[in-house]
Amino acid sequence: MRKADDCSLTIEQFYALQTMEESYGSTSLRRRYTCGKNGRIQVTSKKSRGFVSISHFFVTVFLPQGYPDSVSEDYLTYQIWDTIQAFASSITGTLAAQAVLKGYGVGDESATVLAATLTWLLKDGTGMLGRILFAWMQGTGLDCDAKRWRLFADIINDAAIFLEIMGPHFPHVFTLILCVSGVLKSIVGVSGGATRAALTQHQARRNNMADVSAKDGSQETLVNLGALICSFILVPIVTGRHALIWVLYFLFTSLHLYANYSAVRGVVMETINQARLYILLAEYFKMGTILSPVVVNKREPVLWRTRRKFDIYLGTSMKSLCESKEDIAEFLDIYKTSRYFLWIGPNRDCINIALQQTASVLDQLEACYHAELINFLQENQTSQGLPIPLQHLGKEVNEGGLSLLRSSREYVLKTFPQFLEDVHQGRWKTDICLLGADEWRIEDQTVQGTVNKM
């Protein structure tokens, strides 16, 4: 039970107050302590700690302690849709398991245990390799775009189940189909598990990530148990009826994808990634206002990457700077007070940002603010026109080069502190930024000397 907030309450103060009440989190459990004339304290409980209803039982067993205060506001919406998608996935998984067993040779007298074992080993082996390769190639992106990769994992999972159901119809290439399915499911395991951890970290608001994760596992187990009971009824009905199997697959897959899409769309993250920063700054440069996390998350794409004029690469090597044919001395002079170096790629299709070893999270955010400013100038100079504060920069967009970098850098120095203040007031978090920085860093030495050696 939660202790009384005023732990320093003396006996004399308590006698003066005569009564004191305490509550257990956000539940209806209350206790009142009354000081009688004889000096004894009487305890009155307003509600029992036991389970008083079915809903109270489920809240206590399957939701994190302290719910709803201990989790984010989007927790319940996400979990409802996540429960629906888990049920649909379990049903289609049962259909796939039946098809795989048939492909292994269950019920076929000519099938051998050796052939089934080798097929199973090949499937698991290719899946292990796929897991390692995918984690190597996309590890960082899973943190930065958790919602998009979460949805991607479920789409790939449905594709893997499709292959498994289809496999027995092509016995000559069944092993190959199963190996491809194994690779896809390994990708699902990596991306799904990693993004689930990122979402759990977002939902845990009292450093209770373990509790939120454990209760999420309990919810999923309950759903899988319900799906298992339904499968006991469903499997005898669909066995041998291929048309019905495909109808059920497409029906539950559609429900699965819709539930997953609704789940990730319902998540409202207050951390800043490149997609959310693009939406945030497009409105800020245009209108001077900070959109709330709810609005930005609704606009954030979850099926594709953010489309803009320049791709932004954070934490790149300065090697490509040598290809830009800029005056290095003048270039370095622009960034003499910063911990980053920004330049436009030789083909004017990307913006590269090199970071110094001492660059902090706010330095990375400032660098991306600078990059988004240049991108905004390029996207709006002809189509919609630029707001008045940026019109003097618009004249230099076509020319590009060091003149644009210097003018835009001066604008950043003047406006970025105010942007940070506005962002904090808008309930955005800047202590953690998921901007997807690569690992190249300029070491703590004279930059001029470093460039001369390149």
Per residue in 73-88, pLDDT (tens digit) is 999 999 999 999 999 9
Q: What is the mean pLDDT of residues 237-260?
A: 93
Per residue in 351-399, pLDDT (tens digit) is 999 999 999 999 999 999 999 999 999 888 765 578 878 887 877 776 6
Query: 140-168 burial by CB neighbour count: b if 16+ within 10 A, else e?
Result: ebbbbbbbbbbbbbbbbbbbbbbbbbbbb
* CA 319 distance to own-chain centroid: 32
C-beta of residue 326 within 8 angstroms of C-beta of residue 402? yes
Amino acid (1-letter code) at residue 161: I
C-beta of residue 427 within 8 angstroms of C-beta of residue 294? no
Higher pLDDT, 18 or 360: 360
Torsion, CA 395, CA 399, CA 402, CA 408, rounded to 10: 30
Q: How far apart are CA 144 and CA 188, in angstroms?
A: 17
What integer pLDDT is reported at residue 318 of this predicted model?
85
Amino acid (1-letter code) at residue 322: C
Residues 6+ apart with CB under 8 A from 263: 77, 78, 81, 82, 85, 150
pLDDT band for 108, please (50, 70, 90 cuts).
Answer: low
Nearest CA to 134 out of 122, 142, 145, 125 is that of 142
Per residue in 301-354, pLDDT (tens digit) is 998 888 888 999 999 988 877 766 667 888 888 998 899 999 988 878 899 999
Q: What is the mean pLDDT of residues 276-286?
A: 94
Q: How far apart are CA 211 and CA 39, in angstroms?
A: 41
C-beta of residue 259 within 8 angstroms of C-beta of residue 88? yes
Q: What is the mean pLDDT of residues 179-207?
A: 89
Q: Give percent of the chain above pLDDT 70.
A: 85
Q: What is the CATH number of domain 75-265?
A: 1.20.1250.20
What integer pLDDT is reported at residue 451 of this predicted model?
47
Pairing type for strands 30-35 and 441-442 reads: unpaired
Per residue in 120-149, pLDDT (tens digit) is 788 888 888 888 888 887 766 788 888 999
What integer pLDDT is reported at residue 390 of this predicted model?
83
Residue 232: its H or E element: helix 209-238
Domain boundaries, the chain: 1-49, 75-265, 272-453
What integer pLDDT is reported at residue 311 of this predicted model?
92
